[in-house]
Amino acid sequence: MKSRQSVLIRFGKKVRDKRIEKGYSQEELAHRAGLHRTYIGMIERSEKNITLINIQKIADALEIDVYQFFN
């Protein structure tokens, strides 16, 4: 369980870092990704175990490749 939480924390931090680099609010990122603003917040706070489809949506909205969340 601890490693699962760890990966969610690292992923959420990476989403937040990339969003801030782009100068996007959570609301703007959500709009660009076709997701709800509260969902983005939950991802960044490691409260959601996100699907691969939504990872791709967020990567597309941030104009990055998916692998950049994991390196």
What are the tens digits of pLDDT across the range 35-53? 999 999 999 999 999 999 9
Contact 18, 64 (CB under 8 A): yes
65 token code pair: 């490749």
What are the tens digits of pLDDT across the range 9-23? 999 999 999 999 999
For residue 40, give every residue at least 6 positions away whose Cβ sits within 8 Å of its Cβ, in sequence order, or none: 15, 19, 26, 29, 30, 33, 58
For all residues of the chain together, what is the average pLDDT?
94
Q: What is the pTM of this model?
A: 0.91
Domains of the chain: 2-62 (1.10.260.40)
- pLDDT band at residue 2 using 50, 70 and 90 as cut-offs: low
**pLDDT value at 4 more than 90:** no
pLDDT, position 1: 52
Residue type, 50: I
